Amino acid sequence: MPNHKQTLVIVGNGMVGHRFLQLMVEKGGGDRWHLVTFGEEPRVAYDRVHLSQYFEGKTAADLTMVEPGFYQEHGITTYIGDQVVEIDRKHQIVKSANGLEIAYDRLVIATGSYPFVPPIKGNDATGTFVYRTIEDLDAIKDYGSQVKTGVVVGGGLLGLECANALKSLGLDTHVVEFAPRLMPVQIDEAGGAVLKDKIEALGVQVHTSKATTDIVSENGKLVRMEFADGEALQTDMIVFSAGIRARDELARNCDLDIGNRGGIVINEACQTSDPKVYAIGECAAYQDRTFGLVAPGYHMAEVVSDTLMEVVKPQQFTGADMSTKLKLLGVDVASFGDNFAKTPGSKELVVTDAIAGTYKKLVVNSDGSLLLGGILIGDASDYGTFSQLTQNQVKLSANPLSLMAPAVEGQTPSLSVENLPDTAQICSCNNVSKGQICSAVRDDHITDLPGLKKCTNAGTGCGGCVPLVKDLMQSELKKAGIEVNNHLCEHFPYSRQELYHLLRVGQIKSFDALLAQHGSGHGCEICKPAVASMLASTWNEYVLDRPHVGLQDTNDSFLANIQKDGTYSVIPRIPGGEITPEKLIVLGQVAQEFDLYTKITGAQRVDLFGARLDQLPLIWKRLVDAGFESGHAYGKALRTVKSCVGSTWCRFGVQDSTSLAIDLELRYRGLRSPHKLKSAVSGCTRECAEAQGKDFGIIATENGWNLYVCGNGGTKPQHATLLATDIDKETLIRYLDRFLMFYIRTADKLERTSTWFNKLEGGLAYLKQVIIGDSLGIAAELEAQMQHHVDTYQCEWAATLESPQHMQRFRHFVNADATDPSLVYVQERGQKRPATEAERAILKQGEALVTPG
């Protein structure tokens, strides 16, 4: 060890530069080196990977990567907001824009990259931006609040992130891509087509194979883009996100070697052509290749910190796996390994589900024994396992097609993490191996995911490896004989299923009684609503009675869904979508009288939005008097049983689907369950009611009804599974009673039927044995429990209106009758909607702003 500290200067305080400083601190670098860092942005390092969350309400402080006091505590000298403008290699000095000159013994360049702006005429016009820093985002937000249409030039990873940002600003959003498909580096033509369809379904228009030739402004304002094919696109603003280029100008100016395509040339130790100067991150080029992901930059930081701290066996950088998994505009996209099947003799296996909007391609070797790479779009849940099988060349034990396709009985084959070697890199962002994770669980006695993240850093980067990390932790705990904790929460040492059994068998009818007999403490926001749901589905008592009201979340406690501006929605039940003209008129009169935004939903109901808390009883009094009842849109309960008109009106219908839908909705209305329930009945196989995308769905046949269960839409759609065929109405109801109560008894908290089914040991065969074959001998009990629910049903709003005590809940202020003074609306398409933050800033309370359209 030297007798005095040497000076180590880090140029760049982005994600990679900060990670390098963290590693130096962890390895005791503060004892050997005086650490000095320069950052040209006006703030310390922040999370650029999740930058788009800035448009979703995250602040710069939320995105920061530097713990308060970290640099000061560890003696790191920081010059934030000061750019290094010159490196004098002869005298080993860096010079900054503010006139500082700092001598160094070793220098690390971590200057990252800059956005590439194509050389298009008009690319610097007012209304054009790049998407890179928080300052860029502030400028985009400010300008975007004044315009209606925005275009992103570039359909790659960053381009689609940027499109999501513009869409979140409320802009009519377009993506223009020069290549014939989106994300041309990561996905193939077929995958690009699926991704394009999904993104356009979300309201973003995609234009591929477009070469922009001119950006036209008129009277100082941007008006349109013109393309080489003669077409044009009207727009108010443009954001360039067409790729990045290495920030290598400092290295060029001091005569360090530069790659043929840019980037500072480095060797396996990340040394540049000057052995006292290192380069890491996007500014570095290894074997004439730069790396635009954070994980390779973190690996380079590991290599240089090992070298400078004289680790016995320092790591080396020999390239990087560019596998990636992202959620772009809410769509899962992943690619890994040899995704374009460039390996000689490789073969491609493709599964495309046009209805669900998923595309899965696996590339295998010639005999199908090894996974070489792949592409996943729409559903990337298996990305972690697939990428590990690829990186570690684990021999496949089954037909590789089975890795993508559901098994015969509806079960996805298990891909065990136990088959991976200890050297398998689970977290590429922080270079954490399977062995390190297992060691932390085994040797450091880590038993929960937050503790494992803190101990190993696994899962703290992009987060894509978290499912694998959790599986490894649970596997290692089981090996050690430690029971994997599936307790409801810290107050109840039972799973939801176990607690539900105790509640039912013990005839326990209140949270306090359950806590006294089987729990401890006072309860929390996890167990209270979960137990409230169990009590409701078991005993079906009025949820606002004193023993239950304190357990409910906001929506249930006010019997309405709270909206973004603090008002509530009013959604009466309309079984089967069937409504008389008289009731329809009442809905219109109520909406008009209380000035409510009105919308007909895809689930055959009329939603009324914008009701103040104090107005809810007045509105519901009118609706209950007209014969309406609560639609339970606020509860984890049955929402609707959607239907087509069936044989009553349709020439294709073979059964009366409307009557059956009404009967089922009236039977199961108000049924509380672990998660919301949706259903549908179609009158023929043309499936106009979309029954196969519901928690339970029925399709008419010539001979009766086919029953499907455990499907859902949402962020991860899943087709329902056929449980029974050609059954009559009585059998159908009997099976449904059993199925719903069995799900309510055994599912975890907030678990949809699809997720519950996927975890069900034995899959469809087991479910058939229980529901149809009564293998557990509980069928009569399940039917009786459902009949209890039917017999004890009451409309919660009707009950509330009859109770003066409960009516007192519906006021904004406990000590005054005043209404909420913060509500501000604008008129749009003839109805009111909540004002945006930008609109609120320019409006006085009570004024009207009419928007076009």
- What confidence score (pLDDT) does residue 662 get? 94
- Residue 282, domain CATH: 3.50.50.60
In 3-state terms, what secondary structure has residue 762? coil
- What confidence score (pLDDT) does residue 411 get? 39
Residues 322-351 pLDDT 10s? 777 776 666 788 888 888 888 999 999 988
Residue 179 Cα distances to 138, 176, 211, 232, 852, angstroms: 29, 9, 9, 17, 35
Q: How confident is residue 400, by pLDDT bands cut at 50, 70 and 90?
A: confident
With a cut of 80, say whether residue 431 has pLDDT above it: no
Same domain, 671 and 749: yes
Burial (0-12, 13-18, 19+ Cβ within 10 Å), 636: buried
Same domain, 191 and 254: no
With a cut of 90, say whether residue 239 has pLDDT above it: yes
With a cut of 60, say whether residue 370 has pLDDT above it: yes
Same domain, 278 and 238: no
Same domain, 235 and 123: yes
Give the residue-averaged pLDDT of 691-700: 94
Q: How confident is residue 846, by pLDDT bands cut at 50, 70 and 90?
A: very low
Q: Is residue 357 part of a domain?
A: no
Question: Can you say how many angstroms the Cα of residue 136 is from the centroid of all Cα atoms in its chain?
Answer: 24
* Backbone dihedral region for residue 629 (phi beyond 0: left; psi -120 to 50: alpha; all else: beta): beta
Q: Is residue 606 part of a domain?
A: yes
- The residue with greater pLDDT, 2 or 394, is 394
In 3-state terms, what secondary structure has residue 698? strand
Q: Is residue 15 part of a domain?
A: yes
Q: How far apart are CA 50 and CA 45, in angstroms?
A: 13
Same domain, 69 and 196: no
The 3-state DSSP composition of the chain as helix, strand, coil percent (nearest 5) reads 35, 25, 45
Of the candidate ranges 138-152, 617-631, 756-770, 832-846, the one whose mean pLDDT is the lowest: 832-846
- Residue 782, domain CATH: 3.30.413.10
Same domain, 521 and 580: no
Q: Is residue 53 part of a domain?
A: yes
Cβ 176 vs Cβ 210: under 8 Å: yes
- What confidence score (pLDDT) does residue 762 get? 77
Same domain, 131 and 235: yes
Q: Point out the annotated binding site for [4Fe-4S] cluster.
A: 644, 650, 684, 688
Same domain, 650 and 780: yes
Burial (0-12, 13-18, 19+ Cβ within 10 Å), 205: middle
Q: Is residue 131 part of a domain?
A: yes
Same domain, 645 and 769: yes
Write down which residue in 188, 213, 242 finishes a domain. 242
Q: How many CB atoms lie within 10 A of CB 724?
A: 20
Write down which residue in 508, 523, 554 finishes a domain. 554
Residues 441-480 pLDDT 10s? 888 888 777 788 888 888 776 666 776 787 788 788 877 7
With a cut of 70, say whether residue 485 has pLDDT above it: no
Give the position of tokens 């029974």: 724
- The residue with greater pLDDT, 598 or 391, is 598
Range of the domain at 162: 117-242
Residue 77 pairs in a beta bridge with 36
Burial (0-12, 13-18, 19+ Cβ within 10 Å), 180: exposed
With a cut of 50, say whether residue 137 has pLDDT above it: yes
Sheet of 205-207: strands edge to edge?
128-130, 237-240, 149-153, 172-176, 205-207
Which tokens go with 50?
A: 């999740």
Q: How confident is residue 235, by pLDDT bands cut at 50, 70 and 90?
A: very high
Q: Is residue 806 part of a domain?
A: yes
Long-range contacts of residues 820-825, Cβ cutoff 8 Å, at least 24 apart: 820/566, 820/567, 820/612, 820/613, 821/845, 822/565, 822/566, 823/565, 823/566, 823/567, 823/612, 824/565, 825/610
Q: How far apart are CA 383 and CA 186, in angstroms?
A: 14
Which tokens go with 46?
A: 């922040």
- What confidence score (pLDDT) does residue 844 get? 55
Percent of the chain with pLDDT over 90: 46
Q: Point out the annotated binding site for siroheme.
A: 688
Residue 54 Cα distances to 116, 242, 796, angstroms: 22, 20, 40
Q: Rounded mean pLDDT of the chain?
A: 86
Q: Is residue 478 part of a domain?
A: no
- Residue 582, domain CATH: 3.90.480.10
Strand spans (E) along 64-179: 77-80, 84-88, 93-96, 101-103, 106-109, 113-115, 128-130, 149-153, 172-176
Q: Point out the annotated binding site.
A: 644, 650, 684, 688
Same domain, 168 and 303: no
Write down which residue in 308, 329, 349 finishes a domain. 308
Helix (H) or strand (E) holding 562: strand 561-562
Residue 239 pairs in a beta bridge with 129, 152
- What confidence score (pLDDT) does residue 327 get? 64
Of the candidate ranges 70-74, 230-234, 451-455, the one whose mean pLDDT is the lowest: 451-455
Beta strands at 128-130 and 232-234: parallel, antiparallel or unpaired: unpaired
Beta strands at 638-643 and 677-682: parallel, antiparallel or unpaired: parallel
Same domain, 526 and 607: no
Strand spans (E) along 414-541: 425-427, 432-433
Number of domains the chain contains: 6
Residues 156-195 pLDDT 10s? 888 888 888 888 888 999 999 999 999 888 888 998 888 8
Burial (0-12, 13-18, 19+ Cβ within 10 Å), 744: buried
Q: How confident is residue 430, by pLDDT bands cut at 50, 70 and 90?
A: confident
Q: Is residue 64 part of a domain?
A: yes
With a cut of 90, say whether residue 429 has pLDDT above it: no
Same domain, 782 and 690: yes
Give the residue-averaged pLDDT of 594-623: 88
The DSSP code for 414 is P
- What confidence score (pLDDT) does residue 1 get? 40
